[in-house]
């Protein structure tokens, strides 16, 4: 596999080729994922839960993500690397610029932010300053206290239209990739067909341009309950390398996620 760039992901969407993505936090797993042909690795603020044992992602700092980004970059030479911007590290455009620079210097190719219209100015500013941006809509874990828990979003028509409108405006602001989390499969399909940029789903059905899972969920080693939208690929294969190969193959051929991993 040649080195993955944003333009390569765009070409994959245009060709109808599925994008495989996973979270990563260290050099050893990053190398394994890279050698298996994983297109995208996200250093997610999910590290607060799966590595630090927190109940949510809010305690994670920008230095935490920068540290793990350097580790992943050391192990991955081909995959596109996305660094998550943690809670309240992009509350203002100027703060976002400083913190995005930390992640890009640590080895990220792109940064990810959660939210809609309040971010448009920040996204425009980041892109103008040569920082590629990935958006994140639907269930945005940093807003867990606003949502009252980890709940599926966009089930009523008004909220669904709001998510569509926000996705369009985020693309206009300059994002080059969008993550949709825990929304109905039909809504995710509509957004994926509406946007020209690649859309990556997690709990968003099979019709997005690609999929992402938290690596601990995909390997069945999370100490919390495995989400409905995930699948234990390690239990099906017996070793980690085969589990990751199976995950990539199932995404590539549109067999994962199935209806049992999706929301209506």
Catalytic residues, by residue number, are 181
Residue 112 marked in a binding site: yes
According to the annotation, is 45 in a ligand binding site? yes
SS3 labels along the chain: CCCCCHHHHHHHHHHCCCEEEEECCCHHHHHHHHHHCCCEEEECCCHHHHCCCCCCCCCCCHHHHHHHHHHHHHHCCCCEEEEECCCCCCCCHHHHHHHHHHHHHHCCCEEECCCCHHHHHHHHHHHHCCCCEEEEEECCHHHHHHHCCCCCCCCCHHHHHHHHHHHHHHHHHCCCEEEEECCCHHHHHHHHHHCCCCEEEECCCCCCCEEEECHHHHCCCCCCCCCCCCCCHHHHHCCHHHHHHHHHHHHHCCCCCCHHHCCC
186 is in an annotated binding site: no
In 3D, which of 249, 245, 248, 213 has the Cα closest to residue 231? 213
**What does the alpha-carbon distance between residue 180 and residue 209 come to, in Å, rounded to a whole number?**
11
Residue 84 counted as an annotated binding residue: yes
Q: Is 56 annotated as a binding residue?
A: no
Show binding-site residues for 3-methyl-2-oxobutanoate.
Answer: 45-46, 84, 112
Show binding-site residues for Mg(2+).
Answer: 45, 84, 114
């Amino acid at each position: 596999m040649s080195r993955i760039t944003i333009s390569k992901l765009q070409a994959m969407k245009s060709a109808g080729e599925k994008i495989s993505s996973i979270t990563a936090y260290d050099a050893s797993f990053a190398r394994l994922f890279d050698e298996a042909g994983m297109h995208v690795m996200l250093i997610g603020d999910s590290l607060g839960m799966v590595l630090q044992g927190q109940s949510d992602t809010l305690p994670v700092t920008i230095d935490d993500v920068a540290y793990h980004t350097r580790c992943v970059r050391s192990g991955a030479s081909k995959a596109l690397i996305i660094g998550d911007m943690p809670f309240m590290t992009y509350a203002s455009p100027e703060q976002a610029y400083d913190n995005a620079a930390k992640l890009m210097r640590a080895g990220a190719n792109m940064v990810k932010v959660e939210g809609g219209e309040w971010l448009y100015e920040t996204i425009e500013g980041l892109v103008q300053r040569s920082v590629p941006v990935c958006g994140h809509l639907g269930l945005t874990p940093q807003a867990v206290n606003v949502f009252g828990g980890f709940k599926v979003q966009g089930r009523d028509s008004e909220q669904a239209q709001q998510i569509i409108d926000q996705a369009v405006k985020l693309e206009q602001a300059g994002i080059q990739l969008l993550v949709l989390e825990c929304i109905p499969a039909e809504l995710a399909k509509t957004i994926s067909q509406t946007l020209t940029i690649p859309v990556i789903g997690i709990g968003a059905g099979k019709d997005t341009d690609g999929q992402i899972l938290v690596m601990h969920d995909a390997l069945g080693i999370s100490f919390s309950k495995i989400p409905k939208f995930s699948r234990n690929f390690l239990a099906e294969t017996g070793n980690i390398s085969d589990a990751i190969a199976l995950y990539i193959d199932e995404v590539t051929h549109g067999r994962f996620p199935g209806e049992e991993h999706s929301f209506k």
